[in-house]
Structure 1
Amino acid sequence: MFEYMEKMKGQMDRLEQVNSENLQATSKLIGDTLINDKIIHILGTGHSHMIGLELFIRAGGLANVNAILDSTVLTADGAIRSSKLERVSGIADILWEEQNIAKDDLVMVISNSGRNALPIEFAMRAKKEGHTVIALTSLEQSKQYPSRHSSGKKLYEIGDIVLDNCVPSGDGLLEIEGIQTGAPSTVSGITLLHTAVTEGMKIAAKHGVKLPVYTSQNIDGYSNSELYEKYSGRIKHM
């Protein structure tokens, strides 16, 4: 038996039990973006950016996804630098204004702790601009520690819908020699979003929508050029 795999099986069960109602609501919103030809914008900071990246321009994935991949939210230019920038107020507005976020587009913000300035302010800006915000966070960890933002708020207090990744404080499922390890947050977040996206696709398909889904670039006989052209200019990092 591999302990991490066993713990992740239980984690999957918790995700479904805890998030069933909010997953349905998120799926409905994603279905609406497809029906109304809107974009899903996803911001994740630190390792949370990988969850948005998982949905962005990938085989079998939706084409109407804009993952916000600015260097300030990635670890590519330095993990410590990225961690510090996440706490700086004012960056969220700069990132927001560099995207092409249109009326009725859907905004998702991902942060395990939900306590730092960048994800909080991005969610606040989205709400100010009239967008529905889906927050993906760890309620256990977020409720345990104070906000680092001047408002005193945390991400889960701003989102219209909150998806709980059910991750324990410290982001580890295992303990080895007294050390917490075996992070579940990325797998849990990706599972939640793939669930919501595929259910949203089913909703749109029932409305007769031709689903904008990328095919693998490594399978001969298929091309994504039509989707690239359709979403060019609407998705920053295409």
Structure 2
Amino acid sequence: MAAAAHSGETAPEPTIGLAREYFDAAIALLARARDEEAGTVTRAGAMVAETVAAGGRIFVFGAGHSSLPAQDVVYRAGGLAVVNLLAVPGAVGVDVSPATLGSALERVDGLASAVLDTSPAAAGDLLFVISLSGRNALPVEMALGARSRGLRVVGVTSLDYPRRTTSRHASGTFLKDHCDLVLDNKIAVGDAELTAEDVPAPFAPASTVVTSALMQAVMAAAVGALADRGVTPPLLRSGNVDGGHDWNGRVMAEYRDRIFYRH
């Protein structure tokens, strides 16, 4: 690491270089996802549009930090009002204490079935399961259980993990094996984009950046597909623009049977 500058000297700024490296790495991953997943994003958007047009509901699930891209498309200004978070108590983000409990819950057999049995998700609905590794019991069982109940499933994961790690599910399978469609976020095993001299471990994860972008891209494709069908997309507006609350109230009233986060 750089030594402290002597009095009157300008200190070097190695952290600026690392910050730029992170932006460059994230931008490169976003470009790969944009170019290599374009067709899959379009298909996922079409699935969302088909579900909405048919009167179905959209659900999203992710555990731990994989919950962040899921939450990013729920009750969001500029987003579709009918996207609902399928929450697993203790596994949403890092809001439990100790935080390690959330990771432990991802490996618990049967938890996904209990959540699905008590959720409003039903046949004809669409579920996005977001899991970086796709190897733990919870996302694998969530996809399995949802499809057995007649839902379609879109997995959002890294396809590098199945090539380089082993499954933690009893079947030996990964999330990717139980989906109608899979979006690959291009993240390498370990989810750390940078290394530096005198730093003992890789750092700077980018999975949230890329996965959130993929989810927003899917929703953008869905909006376009709905408009092409002649269906007005049920979009929310910011509550911080004039008329936003009234707009959202009308949308939520019209789609109240498909919005569960307000109940």
Greater Rg, structure 1 or structure 2? 2
What displacement does 1:143 show?
2.4
Amino acid at match of 1:51: P
* 1:197 and 2:219 matched: yes
Amino acid at match of 1:204: L
Identity %: 32
Q: Deviations over 1:37-90 (max 9, x none)?
A: 321111101100011100000111100101123323222123211110110001
Amino acid at match of 1:208: G
SS at match of 2:240: coil
Amino acid at match of 1:23: V
Contact 1:72 1:86 in 2 (8 A): no
Query: Among residues 167, 170, 192, which one is paired with 1:172 in the alignment?
Result: 192
What displacement does 1:21 show?
2.2
Specify the alignment match of 2:23 in structure 1. Answer: 5
Supply the distance in 2 between the matched residues of 1:48 and 1:4 (Cα, whole angstroms).
20
* 1:60 and 2:78 matched: yes
Supply the distance in 1 between the matched residues of 2:252 and 2:186 (Cα, whole angstroms).
35
What displacement does 1:210 show?
1.3
TM-score of the aligned structures, taking structure 2 as reference length: 0.86
Q: Deviations over 1:118-164 (max 9, x none)?
A: 11101001111122211011111232111111111110111111101
Contact 2:45 2:222 in 1 (8 A): yes
Specify the alignment match of 2:205 in structure 1. Answer: 183
Query: Among residues 45, 66, 72, which one is paired with 2:63 in the alignment?
Result: 45
Where do residues 149-164 of structure 1 align in structure 2 (5 Å cutoff)? 149-164=169-184
Contact 1:100 1:234 in 2 (8 A): no
Structure 2 residues not aligned, in runs of 5+: 1-16
What's the C-alpha RMSD, in Å, of the aligned pairs?
1.5
Supply the distance in 1 between the matched residues of 2:68 and 2:254 (Cα, whole angstroms).
25
Query: Among residues 100, 105, 125, which one is paired with 1:105 in the alignment?
Result: 125
Contact 1:109 1:135 in 2 (8 A): yes
Higher mean C-alpha displacement, 228-237 vs 84-93: 228-237
SS at match of 1:175: coil
Specify the alignment match of 2:156 in structure 1. Answer: 136
Specify the alignment match of 1:28 in structure 2. Answer: 46
Higher mean C-alpha displacement, 71-80 vs 198-207: 71-80
Contact 1:100 1:235 in 2 (8 A): no
Supply the distance in 2 between the matched residues of 1:91 and 1:8 (Cα, whole angstroms).
33
* 1:76 and 2:100 matched: no
What displacement does 1:233 show?
5.2
* 1:226 and 2:246 matched: no
TM-score of the aligned structures, taking structure 1 as reference length: 0.94
SS at match of 1:100: coil
Structure 1 residues not aligned, in runs of 5+: none
* 1:123 and 2:143 matched: yes
